[in-house]
Structure 1
Amino acid sequence: MLPGTAGDRPRTDVPPPGSGGSRTEAPPGSGGTRRMRADARRNRQVLLDAAVEAFAEHGADTPLDGIAKRAGVANATLYRHFPTREALLEEVLRERIGQLVEGERTLLSREGPADALAVWLREFVAYTKTYQGLPASVLATLRGDPGSPLHGSCATLLGVAARLLERAQRAGQMRCDVDAVDLLTQATGIAWATERGPRDATRSDRLLTVLMDGLRATSDRTGTPPR
């Protein structure tokens, strides 16, 4: 989890994550199904739009109070919808995460096992570099923070990485003494080390190539492929 900033004050008047945020109403004939009020949906979207702009300008550790101000809503409104920075980040990045999941299907049908893994890893690194400071948050979650709102997204991406890696291992193309956590930890480390400066885009690709070369199976390190 990213370190807190002066703009991130603990809240005691907000519902727990997943509680739906703002007060809701049950539509007629819904059988108890609840939906967000129109004004709450509007506030939520305004906050998301403001967060996209703020994260792009100032990075993933921009003060949350500043996002609320940019959106023109009270701080309490932001915290009702997004109790933590990671919850807001996850929602902002939801579409990008979906693209990474969908990318697995495309790669499995078009690329060889090792090449598919390499292409997907480059997309993953690009994802973690969407906003300055995001790689640090992803790394913290990969190290085992089940309480982080990013945990679900990271678990999904770990599943994709595991399937692509195991496919390449079964084909005898990747060494078998690494797992998906090892893989994404190294890839996120590359993203963290190269997230600043225009020259780092080339460096990132070069380091990923070195990583993939080190993962390729050789006669002395093939190991036992996953079943």
Structure 2
Amino acid sequence: MAISEAGTSAARSGACGEARSGASVARRRGGRPRADALRNRERIVSAAREMLVEFGPDVPLDEIARRAVVGNATLYRHFPDRKDLVHEVVVSVLSRTAEIAESAVMEIAEERGDAFGALRRFVHEAADERIGALCPMLAEGFDAQHADLLAGRERLEVAVEDLMGRARKAGRLRADVAVGDLMVALSQLTRPLPGSGCVDFDQFVHRHLQLFLDGLEAPARSALPGCAATLEDLRRPQ
């Protein structure tokens, strides 16, 4: 995955110029981004999510462009530097995962399924969004307090709290667990092991998530050590 620094710099420089020019045209026309530009952006973000999971936060941007089947200039036109792209990936994962949780809550509210079954489906679908890849992305220099990220995180937390509360009220979720317990397990179990190369990793993710979910269901088979983990507990400096 060697990168030509000269070529990358030239692509970035040209793309930034095109971005400024394109933005000016858009402002003059007062229009929205073209459909093909939006599709390219979505393809880049999707490819970046996959490759950041597979290869970590330092994966070459040129390789992401190749996976997305777009030119380097197109990638840099949308995302002038790595931090912009990583930010967009994290926001996208948070948003898509929150939508899954909200859909599960709606399913319970409309009595289209049982509360724990909806929670179970949320966990497996959230795993497919690669939410466990968020932690390695939050590297040095990443603005974890950006307004977009705080809003996305709050939306997800509210939806998951609601989902777990409904399962608990229905007597299907053990009382000694909280949203932090769920999110830690989801994050850890969806993160590939070092050196695993992600070969057929999904089969193990869903298998182990199912084991975890069986442990969440009431009645509890044993007492858990410690206290239920809230998201505030996870953020508190140790």
- TM-score (normalised: structure 1): 0.61
CA displacement at 1:121 relative to structure 2: 1.0
Task: Decide whether aligned partners of structure 1 residues 147 and 42 sit closer, same or farther in structure 2, where only a CA change above 3 A counts.
Answer: same
Deviations 1:160-195 (A, max 9, x none): 221111112222322333322321121121111478
Task: Provide structure 2 residue ranges, at least 5 long, that are not aligned to the other structure.
Answer: 17-21, 228-238
CA positional deviation for 1:150? 4.8
**Does the CA-based 8 Å contact 1:103-1:120 persist in structure 2?**
yes
User: In structure 1, what is the equivalent of residue 157 of structure 2?
Assistant: 158
Q: Which amino acid aligns with 2:84?
A: T
Q: Distance in 1 between matches of 2:32 and 2:86?
A: 21
Alignment partners' CA distance in 2, 1:213 and 1:68: 40
**Residue identity in the other structure for 2:46:** V
* Structure 1 gap segments, 5+ residues each: 15-20, 28-33, 129-133
Change (3 A) 1:212 1:67: closer
SS in 1 for 2:46: helix
1:135 paired with 2:132, answer yes
Which position in structure 2 is the counterpart of 1:72?
Answer: 71
Equivalent residue number for residue 113 of structure 2? 111
Whole-angstrom distance in 2 between the partners of 1:84 and 1:6: 21
Alignment of 1:1-227 (within 5 A): 22-23=23-24, 24-25=26-27, 35-36=31-32, 38=34, 42-53=36-47, 55-56=49-50, 59=54, 61=57, 62-67=59-64, 71-72=70-71, 74=73, 76-79=76-79, 84-90=84-90, 96-97=96-97, 100=100, 101-108=102-109, 109-128=111-130, 135-138=132-135, 145-147=144-146, 150-193=149-192, 196-198=198-200, 200-218=201-219
TM-score by length of 2: 0.58
What's the offset of the Cα at 1:138?
A: 4.8
Whether contact under 8 Å (1:158, 1:184) holds in the other structure is no
- Could you say if the C-alpha distance between residues 36 and 187 of structure 1 is closer, same or farther in structure 2, counting changes exceeding 3 Å? same
Q: Deviations over 1:202-223 (max 9, x none)?
A: 4323322332233234478699
SS at match of 1:192: coil
| Residue deviations 1:109-149 (CA, integer Å, cap 9, x gap) | 22222222112111111222xxxxx62315776xx933385
Contact 2:173 2:218 in 1 (8 A): yes
**Contact kept? 1:125, 1:191, Cα under 8 Å:** yes
Over aligned residue pairs, what C-alpha RMSD do you find?
4.5
- Residue 45 of structure 2 contacts residue 85 of structure 2 at CA under 8 Å; is this kept in 1? no
1 CA distance for matches of 2:103 and 2:158?
12
1:81-126 per-position Cα deviation (integer Å, ceiling 9, x unaligned): 9852333325765884475133432354222222221121111112
Q: Greater share of helix residues, 1 or 2?
A: 2
Contact 1:25 1:36 in 2 (8 A): no
**Does structure 1 retain, via aligned residues, the 8 Å contact 2:168–2:175?**
yes
